[in-house]
Structures are given as C-alpha cells and as structure tokens.
Structure 1
C-alpha cells in the first residue's frame, strides 16, 4: 500500500483552515450555508474597506473573505493563502477549541525514521 503523505498533510491543513474560518466568522454553531452567509455578510458590512478606512479593517476583511471561501467553495489553491490577522497563539487556541491534535500519526513517525 502506498501512502500519500502530502495528501494526509493537506487534509490536516484543511481541517485547521476550516476551524480558523469558523472562528473568524464566529460560525461554530452554523449548520447551513445560509447561516454562514449571514454571518459573512454581517462582518463584511462592518469591515469593508469602503466603509471602514482603518488598515486593520482591511486585513480583517481579507480574512473574512478567505474564511467564507474556505467554508463554501473549497479548492486546494486556498492552502497557499494565509490569514493576515491570525497569530500563532490564536492558532493554538483554535486547535484546542476544534479538538485538533498536533501529535503525529504512526505513518508520519515511520516516515521520519527513514
């Protein structure tokens, strides 16, 4: 059996990106795409660069837009994009909240041996 390590890594990264997106949109309890869209529109109106002229609002709007794309129109090119307002500390908190383990799988441990 051949293991695609890159694919496994992308699945983990996708799970993390979805957790970050839910945190940004405050959509942990959103069950339908309609609820996610409502939260996106609410935040987009608040942080849109035409309305809010602060630099931090522009970055926040970029994160909100990326989060909405992650939760509604996923494609693997999103893995190359980065959140601008999320720090390493925030990522650790989100991992705890989303119950994402940092522990390596047995396959990844085996891969590191050779």
Structure 2
C-alpha cells in the first residue's frame, strides 16, 4: 500500500509553537487528533503543488531564516465560526519535506509582524 501524502512529510512543532498550541488542544477537545490530520492533509496539498501555490487557507508570507517558506495558515475547526479558528505560522521546506509549526494564535485577527518574527526565530 502506498504511503499517504501526509506520511511523506516530516512534521514537527517548535517549543514555542507547542506552548501556544496547548490552549488550542483544550479548545478543540476530543476531535483534536482528527482535526490535526485534516490540517496535515491540507498542508500536504501545498507540498504537492511544488510549494508554489496560495491555497484557500494557506498564504506564503516570507522566507524563513532557517530556510523554507513561512506560511500563514488558518486552521478552522468545527464550531469556530467563519472568521474564527486558529492562525498558525508554519515553516515549510519542500527540499527536505518538513513542516514545522512555530506559532499559534487563538483569535480572529492575524498575528502582528513582531509576533510572526518571534515565532520564526524560535525554530
């Protein structure tokens, strides 16, 4: 059986990102693992597009200091509303097929430039 697209990508979360994701786990509740897998499928589609595509919930915003691209990702989950959900900062590296969550924000507004820079530097 062939590996799934998600399985071919190495996933990680920075220490800073893990601290910020803790409240999200509680907010999403028992569906967290299922929602995480849906997010991984979404990000896997970005990798399959040769990392050169803006998707509905994925916006490339900058090059990352550690290499790869910084992506702003809206992670919608059941019950979060149209503008709700989480805002994630993910560093995607197509050459090494890695995706690292470096930041997570629980709000309807996008993170500030200073917050994004702090998250990028946490890798």
- TM-score norm. by structure 2 comes to 0.28
Q: Which has the higher helix share?
A: 1
Between structures 1 and 2, the one with greater strand share: 2
Question: TM-score, normalised to structure 1's length?
Answer: 0.29
